[in-house]
Amino acid sequence: MLWVRTVTMGQSSGNRSTVELLGRLMGVGWAVALSIAGGTGGGFWLDSRFDTSPVLTLVGLATGIVVAFAGMIRILNSMWGSKSDQSAEEVENRDPR
């Protein structure tokens, strides 16, 4: 869950990290929206070019959704510093001290 601190009059830069987080989350939203719109638009354009309506539009939509979901997971993992990118070898060879 995302907790946002309230902004009061006279408070200076105390909410800089919150604003930065919200900006990054807005970037994730734009990336998702553009991936889905791009896939659908590309499929629609190909459908009009090859007269295969609505097959390629639906394929483009599905592709856009998959790309958006994968990109969203990648961006959110990098934002929260997930350690899921470690290889199994790195985990096994880690010093237990």
| Lowest-pLDDT choice from 3-7, 17-21, 48-52 | 3-7
For residue 78, pLDDT over 70 is answered with yes
Is the pTM of the predicted complex or chain greater than 0.75?
no
User: How many other β-carbons are positioned within 10 Å of the β-carbon of residue 27?
Assistant: 12
Query: Cis omega before residue 96 (within 30°)?
Result: no
Supply the DSSP symbol for 14.
Answer: T
Q: What is the pLDDT of residues 53-71, one digit of tens each?
A: 999 999 999 999 999 999 9
